[in-house]
Amino acid sequence: MKIVIYGIEIEAVQADITREQVDAIVNAANSSLLGGGGVDGAIHRAGGSAILEDCYRIRERQGGCRTGEAVITTAGHLPAQHVIHTVGPVWNGGNQQEPDLLRSCYVHCLQLADKHGLKSISFPNISTGIYGYPKPEAAAIALDVVRQYAEAGHGSLKLIRFVCFDRDNLTLYEQQLERIQLAG
Ligand code: AR6
């Protein structure tokens, strides 16, 4: 499903993010930036060692990536041009600043995309796998940040895709998109 708000296409699809042909895909990484399971493992496997080499350089410079922040690397062999690695919060019941930290992930990814003049980006459902964030709440935060980005009207992105791996997440994102369309 796709909607257009303030001239920006926002789309939810069910797909494998490693196959996205966009300016940047987002990785749900961990603070070490050294890879892991889930979408992080899939991106490093498909993209090859160039991504990890860039991650090592970032580690040398700033010692990894804190929760809620984001860094950018090459995408190696992937069809995308860049990978933006962000570190979502581990769900701990919701009183450990998880919503603010998840919001901060999306905000920092969009800021980095603007800084590099990117036109298209694909997000996975950050924190909703191994990190256990409840999917409905995570989808609401993701779409809220993106709606605000579109409303502000001064970013470089023209296409923002939410690449859901599972059907549950796709349904949730479609509901959120319908809600935004009706409100707009
Ligand atoms: N394409 C799109 N989405 C995917 C793919 C894929 N190829 N593979 C998994 N997902 P997770 P987290 C979905 O666990 O919860 C790693 O070990 C998955 O279904 O990848 O942020 C890191 O190194 C889920 O909806 O990330 C961290 O240690 C979403 O991606 C930790 O996991 C996120 O699930 C981060 O946990």
Q: Using one digit for the tens of pLDDT, what is the confidence trace for 22-67? A: 999 999 999 999 999 999 999 999 999 999 999 999 999 999 999 9
How far is residue 154's CA from residue 121's CA, in Å, rounded to a whole number? 16
120 pLDDT more than 90: yes
| 82-115 tens-digit pLDDT | 999 999 999 999 999 999 999 999 999 999 999 9
Average pLDDT over residues 109-137: 98
Token pair of 26, please?
């987002």
**Phi, psi (degrees; rounded to nearest 5) at 93:** 105, -15
Ligand 1 binding pocket includes 134 (Cβ within 6 Å): no
Q: Would you say 161 and 20 are in contact if contact means Cβ atoms under 8 Å apart? A: yes
Work out which ligand 1 atom sits closest to the CA atom of 32.
23
**Phi, psi (degrees; rounded to nearest 5) at 71:** -135, 160
User: pTM here?
Assistant: 0.98
**How far, in Å, from the CA of 40 to the mean position of ligand 1?**
6
In DSSP notation, the chain reads -EEEETTEEEEEEES-GGG--SSEEEEEE-TT-S--SHHHHHHHHHH-HHHHHHHHHHHHHHSS--TT-EEEEE-TTSSSSEEEEEEPPPPSSS-SSHHHHHHHHHHHHHHHHHHTT--EEEE--TTSSTT---HHHHHHHHHHHHHHHHHH---S-SEEEEEESSHHHHHHHHHHHHHHHHH-
184 pLDDT more than 90: no
Query: Hey, whose CA ends up nearest to atom 10 of ligand 1?
Result: 39
Average pLDDT over residues 138-143: 98
How far is residue 32's CA from residue 124's CA, in Å, rounded to a whole number? 19
The predicted structure's pLDDT at residue 136: 98
**How far, in Å, from the CA of 130 to the mean position of ligand 1?**
6
Token pair of 85, please?
């690695």
The predicted structure's pLDDT at residue 183: 87
Report the complex ipTM: 0.99
**How far, in Å, from the CA of 5 to the mean position of ligand 1?**
27
